[in-house]
Structure formats: C-alpha cells, structure tokens
Amino acid sequence: MKQSPPPVTASTVNWISAQPPLLRFLHACYADFLPEDGGTVADYIPELGKADPAHFGISLATLDGHVYEVGDTKVPFTIQSMSKPFVFALALDTLGAERVESVIGVEPSGDPFNSIRLNAENHPFNPMVNAGAIACSGLIHTAKGDGAFEFIRQALSRFAGRELGVDEAVYASESATGDRNRAIGYLLRTNGVIAENVPDVLDVYFRQCAILVTARDIAVMAATLANRGINPLTEQQVMTPYAISRALSVMTSSGMYDYAGEWIYRVGVPAKSGVGGGILAALPARLGLGSYSPKLDKHGNSVRGIKVCEALSAHYDLHMLNRSDDARHSIIADYNIGKNPSRRVRRPQEQEILAKHFQEVRVIELVGTLSLSNVDYVSRRLGGGPRPEFVIFDLRRVTATTRAGARLVAEAFQELAALGVTVILSGIKRTSREWTTISEWTSRLGNIRDFYLLDTAIEWAEDQIVYRYGGSIDFVETTELSEQPLLAGLDEAALGDFAALCTVRTYQPHETIIAAGDAATSVFFLRSGVVHVTLPDGVRLATLTAGMAFGEMALLEPKRSANVVADMSATAFEITIADFERFRAQHPPACERIMRNLAQLLADRLIVANAKVDLLTSG
C-alpha cells in the first residue's frame, strides 16, 4: 500500500521569509528607540501623569487590510488631540462644508495647541488647535444635541473598526482642570463661532479627548484616512472622500502643533499627535501608522513616535511630495484581431472577411490604476494607429480608477463615438467599485457595451465585422461528415463505414454534452448549431459551429478535460471509442489519416496559443 505523505505543518515547511521586511523594520525601530528616554509625560491633566513611560507600541496598517504590530500595541491610552481630524471630518459631513468652513479657518497658527488666540476674523486658526476642535465639537452639538458625544464615539469607532470606550478617570480629571479650554469655549461663544451652552460643548470635547485607543487602533484609523475614507479592515466607507481629504489637509499644515512646518518638510507625511502619547500618520494611498509612547517633547509630540515616523519616512523614502509614476506601464497588450482572434472557430467565408478587415478591431489590455496620466497616455497611443471601427478596452487587470481617470475615460469615449468608433469594455464586474466610478461618467454617453470576458467581446466585434462586410453567421447550417476537417482525405468507402458507426444526437440549448472529469468514451462531430468548450473554472476555450469536431481528445486521453455545452439546439454525430477501434481494424490507413489530421489541428491550436503568450509577455 502507498504511504500517505506526512501532514504539512509550519515546522515542516521552509517559509520564504519568517518575517516580512516591513515588520522587521518596525522591530528594528522599536529596538533602536526603546532606550530613548527624553521628554516628559504630560501631567497638566493630572490623570495623564499616571501613564507608564516605558510603554512603547508601533503599528502599521496597510490599505489591503494587514496590520503589523510591535511592542505595546494593545495598551489603551486616550486619543486626545488625535480625535481632532476625525471630528473635523465628521463636522464637514454632518453640517456641510460651507457651514463649517465659514467659522473655522485652515491656516497654521504657529502657536501652541492650547493658545487662547483667534485669527483676524475672530475665528479659530484651524481645526487642529484646541479652539478649532472645540468649535467642531460645538457644531456637532448644534446638530445632535445631547447625542453629540455618542455620535462622535460611533464615528471614531467606525474608523477603528471596533467599538471604542472612554477613560472616565481621564475625562473627569480634564473636566476638573480644563479651565484654559473653558476660556477658549467662552471666547468662541462671544465671537459667535458657537451658539451653544459652553459647559455642554466642553463636556463633549473632554469626553472625545478621553476616548480610549491602542497603537493598533490608530494605525487602522490612519489607514482609513489614507484610503479615502474606506476602512481597510471593515471595507466600510466611513466618511466622504471630501471630508477625509480636508482632514488630511489640515493635518498636513497644522497636525503637529507649532512643529508642523518642520514636520512636513522633513517627514512629509500628514500626521496628528495627542498629549496622551500617540502619533497618527497617514500616507495617502499607502499606509497608516500608529505609535504610542507617553513621553513628550516641548511641542507636545511623543519623542519616540517622532523618531519612528522620521525613520520610516527616511528609510523607505516616503515623503509624499517625492513621487513619480510611469504611465506607460498601464498598457499590458495592444493588438488587433489579426494577431489574436477570438476563440470562435470560424468558417472559411467568415475567415476571409476577418482576414481582410483585421485592423478594424483593436484590443487594448490595461493594468493597474486608471489615473489621469495613464488614461491620457492610452488615448494618445490609440490616436497613433489607423482608426479601427471597434476598440475593446480590457479592464480585467485594472485595480483602481481615480476620479480624474474615470472622467478622462468618459471624455475619450465621447471623442471615439464622435469619430464613429464603437467602444467595448471587458473584464469588469458590475458590482466592482471601478465599474461604479466609470459608469458614473460613461452612463451619460448612452450605451457602452460591456462583456465580462474579453474573448466574448472580441467575438462580438468580429461578428459585427462579418455582418458589415457582407457575411452571415448562420448557426443552423447542417454539415455532413465528409466536410469535417478531422475526416479530411478519407475515401468514400471509409467514410461510409465510419458514418454507419455514428449515431445522430440532438441537444437542447444549454444542455451539457460533455463534463470535465468524465470518462472520455466517444468523439463528436457537430452537425448543426453552436456549442462552446469551457474549462472547469469557466474559461472558454472555443466556440464551435457545424462542421467541427469536439471531444476528439478521447482518441488520446481516457478522461474529459473540459466541458462542452450547447449554446442553442444542436445536433452531432457521435462515435464511441469502441466503434472507432472497430473502424481502425477495418480501415488502418484511414485511421492513420484521422490521427494525422488530429495532430495538424492540435498544432494549429498551439500556434495560436503561442502567439497569445507572446503578445502578453512582449507587452
């Protein structure tokens, strides 16, 4: 008896790398900066003074939803000023940008966060200093009344992807000592920035600052900011892209208090810190970082947290203004149907038309992000060649579409339509985000055809060319065995004996004729109708019309490797392998001829397959 192999467990497998390099880097940061003991724990809110200065946690969340964690990433601490960008975004979405922007500025103040100073219009300088943040809490109180704090807590919880609680002791401690913030509250009220009862607003603000988070939470919250408001773990759109981008804007200009200018110059990543010891950094379209270490420098920023951010930015060159992109990588293949026709096996008349008009169907396979520069490049590349009647854009490998990209796509389609070029899309799931973005623009252009499979799209365009140039695609035509390429060269006697061994079968539309995995016990010759051949995973190998054989691999292999399904009513001649062996005994030379024909058909298919591989690998 054959012995079964031992089960595969972690210890029997040699993984490529036990640790992803990014995690290794975070571990190195932790080790390097742990000895750093400069700074002091904030104690102007007495309860904050109880934090353990040894705590140090670093977490990094990627936009595909992975969270790296090193050190004390599960230790809860209060969010403090890191709540400000989120509550600002919430105010924008709740009260409308116009209302919020009319009472809170967006200029850096150059002052410490708790400065009791307003700008020339007697408005807070920006939402990242206490005055602006208290104004935001006040605006939310206007909209939500007594439910304001719960509304904020729930919103922040959506950013974190879990229910966040409150540190009651820190809340009570700040409430008991926060007279400076009270002074700011009354200043705001006397200037008409808030109309609310000041103690109520301050209560919301103190509670919001006492929301408990971990380094892991803030990494995820930062990643949500970096991801246009979609939490990468829950995939929920938690706020509008407008509110998110504006929150990131004020983080960029004012997130690190009176150190903001220096920060964005040196580190180049939008960030926000809190006196609880947290730093949150969000690099748009890349990652979110959360760090926790309670000792603060003279600006109120976590000493170790700053070091981590500086090291990460420097090591991987992450400064957000130090970027470039090459649009030319967005086209993975560009061809016409002369080089790569559909998998429909065509009859001679159709073949002739398609051979003459192969330049009329152009296929461009795209990859990656449809951005402003990528779509612009594609549209210029398209303009460079002879104008085809059909252009197929295959979007199967497109992973994202920016709004600029989608808009440019729509404008390019409009141009093409005006020139009489039919645009066809393939490879998009109608439920995908990409489709939503693109169809938002293209729906105005009326009917853009889209097919899920590229091959179906090519086949459809080919059919149109055949029709346009006088051909017809007649599905019900009946073909006799003598016209089968597989039986070409057989004399009449052999053909007659062969036919006598065949049975005529009839199939209903969608009926499965052959199922992958079954025993291969017969060969079919399609007499009328259309069938298609698909792999078990749904990939279509071919569409066959009358006059073509299928299941012919039974002559070589004992098992069916593909499914064959009738597209419409179809009839076929079937010969069993047992009868074929009988025929072989009767007519050895005819049988050898059939095997030669089969080799020829397989060689032809291989040539097409190689051409396709070549197209994709040479770009």
- Provide the b/e sequence for 30-42 (b: ≥16 CB within 10 Å): beebeeeeebebb
Nearest approach, Cβ of 124 to ligand GLN (angstroms)?
A: 13
Spatial CA neighbour of 213 closest among 175, 269, 162: 162
Q: Could you say which of 84, 166, 220, 342 is catalytic?
A: 84
Tokens at residue 122, please?
């007697």
- Give phi and psi for 18, each to the nearest 5: -65, -30
Measured between alpha carbons, how far is residue 56 from residues 53, 275, 305, 540 in Å?
8, 15, 9, 55
Nearer to ligand GLN, 185 or 551 (CB): 185
The DSSP bridge partners found for residue 237 are 230
Measured between alpha carbons, how far is residue 293 from residues 78, 135, 174, 234 in Å?
12, 28, 20, 27
For β-strands 295-296 and 522-528, DSSP reports them as unpaired
Nearest approach, Cβ of 312 to ligand GLN (angstroms)?
A: 22
Nearest approach, Cβ of 203 to ligand GLN (angstroms)?
A: 12
Nearer to ligand GLN, 78 or 422 (CB): 78
Given the rule CB under 6 A, which residues bind ligand GLN?
A: 80-81, 113-114, 130, 174, 181, 209, 274-275, 300
Q: Could you say which of 275, 363, 378, 564 is catalytic?
A: 275
Rg (CA), the chain: 34
The yes-or-no answer on residue 81 being catalytic is yes
Does residue 507 contact residue 513 with C-beta atoms inside 8 Å?
yes
Q: Could you say which of 205, 254, 398, 423 is catalytic?
A: 205
Nearer to ligand GLN, 130 or 313 (CB): 130
Half-sphere exposure of 369 (CA within 13 A, CB side): 11
Spatial CA neighbour of 191 closest among 141, 127, 122, 138: 122
- Provide the b/e sequence for 188-206 (b: ≥16 CB within 10 Å): bbebebbebebebbbbbbb
Query: What is the rounded end-to-end Cα distance, in angstroms, of the chain?
Result: 50
Nearer to ligand GLN, 181 or 422 (CB): 181
The yes-or-no answer on residue 205 being catalytic is yes
Q: How many helices (H) and strands (E) does the chain have?
A: 20, 22
For β-strands 449-451 and 422-426, DSSP reports them as parallel
Rounded Cα distance, 223 and 221, in Å? 5
Helix locations, 257-359, DSSP H:
260-266, 303-316, 348-356
- Provide the b/e sequence for 492-504 (b: ≥16 CB within 10 Å): eebbeebbebbee
Q: Could you say which of 257, 303, 363, 531 is catalytic?
A: 257
Helix locations, 124-266, DSSP H:
130-144, 148-160, 168-177, 179-190, 198-209, 215-226, 241-254, 260-266
Spatial CA neighbour of 361 closest among 265, 445, 460: 460
Nearest approach, Cβ of 79 to ligand GLN (angstroms)?
A: 8
Tokens at residue 433, please?
């985000």
Rounded Cα distance, 113 and 84, in Å? 11
The backbone region for 110, taken as left when phi is positive above 0, alpha when psi lies in -120 to 50, beta otherwise, is: left
The yes-or-no answer on residue 275 being catalytic is yes
Nearest approach, Cβ of 111 to ligand GLN (angstroms)?
A: 12
Measured between alpha carbons, how far is residue 248 from residues 88, 140, 329, 330, 452 in Å?
10, 20, 29, 28, 37
Tokens at residue 405, please?
């990209």
Nearest approach, Cβ of 126 to ligand GLN (angstroms)?
A: 13
- Catalytic residue positions, numbered: 81, 84, 205, 257, 275
